[in-house]
Amino acid sequence: MPTTPPDGRSGIDAALVSRLIAAQFPQWSGLPVTPVDIDGWDNRTYRLGDDMTARLPTAAGYVPAVTKEHEWLPRLAPSLPVAIPPILAMGVPGEGYPFPWSVRGWLPGERADRGRIDDLSQFAVSVAEFVLALQRCDTTGGPLAGEHSWYRGASPAHYDDETRRCLAALEGRVDTDRAATVWGAALAAPWDGNPVWFHGDVGAGNLLVADGKLAAVIDFGTSGVGDPACDLVIAWGMFSGDSRDAFRRAVGQDEGTWARARGWALWKSLLTLAECIDTDPEQAAVNRRLIGHVLEDHRRFAQPSVA
């Protein structure tokens, strides 16, 4: 999965969205089309009037999510404790735009930055409750983890070569010996449970807060049916101290699942750090910290205590 957002060469703008709406959904023609304040990586999203959004993939690799979400989000929504995107319509290629796209209901709330959250430990419990509710959803006919989910829900071994290249590139700049041990532990804990639904990208950017509490979860583009380990990565990416402990207690999961979760977190952090270590000190520092948290978590939970 790309680690930098698509650039403006995707050719998507408000004028294109207006033309697509007018051609395919004339009942909404004339509504104002405006970019959202904070956009995602895989899609361009525009407000459509006050109550809707138009969401357009930026590249072919993100197209499978459109039909997947169109089919499955309405089925999942009734079983989840918070709102997820309401699907209103699916558009087709047109007006020079080559991909299917979607119209959705607008969900109120703001990105889950820490300053907007009343109680981070309680928020962590709410996220855990969402993850567990998603795991309980009926998987019959669901999309098995694979290319459409960027292999979230499959074994982290899919990214073994990439991770080892990053370890080699970062040797002497992070504790690559300990990181290799953690990565090896992830690969040595294969998942053998029943397939469950996973979101694939549970993080602050895909969680909405209203009145200080979790209000919605968005962007199911990497969702599917398989191993839920990838949904635990938020333990290190957003939570720490008491809130991390609260999430761990509430979400449960066996140690093998946590070992694979550490692997998922390590892969992405090593990949991002290798790309930005010499060009973006702030982003590099974020990923160094996350790697440190993952290594410490392995020391604390995966190894026996020494008297």
Chain-wide mean pLDDT for the chain? 94
133 shares a domain with 116: yes
242 shares a domain with 125: yes
Residue 306 lies in a domain: no
87 shares a domain with 154: no
Return the structure tokens found at 68: 């997947």
260 shares a domain with 218: yes
Q: Give the pLDDT score at 304.
A: 57
203 shares a domain with 160: yes
Residue-wise pLDDT for 215-230, tens only, equals 999 999 999 999 999 9
Q: Give the confidence band of 302 by pLDDT, cuts at 50, 70, 90.
A: confident
Domain boundary among 82, 105, 128: 105
Q: Give the confidence band of 156 by pLDDT, cuts at 50, 70, 90.
A: very high
62 shares a domain with 175: no
Residue 4 lies in a domain: no
296 shares a domain with 212: yes
Closest CA to 131 of 228, 205, 39: 228
Residue numbers of the domain that contains 42: 9-105
Closest CA to 77 of 223, 191, 192: 223
Q: Is the pLDDT of residue 6 over 60?
A: no
Average the pLDDT over 281-292 and give the result.
97
75 shares a domain with 223: no
Domain boundary among 54, 89, 105: 105
CATH number at residue 158: 3.90.1200.10
260 shares a domain with 201: yes
Q: Is the pLDDT of residue 2 over 70?
A: no
Q: Is the pLDDT of residue 303 over 80?
A: no
Domain boundary among 105, 123, 148: 105
Residue 189 lies in a domain: yes
241 shares a domain with 183: yes
CATH number at residue 28: 3.30.200.20
Residue 3 lies in a domain: no
151 shares a domain with 19: no
Q: How many domains does the chain fold into?
A: 2
Residue-wise pLDDT for 174-191, tens only, equals 999 999 999 999 999 999
291 shares a domain with 162: yes
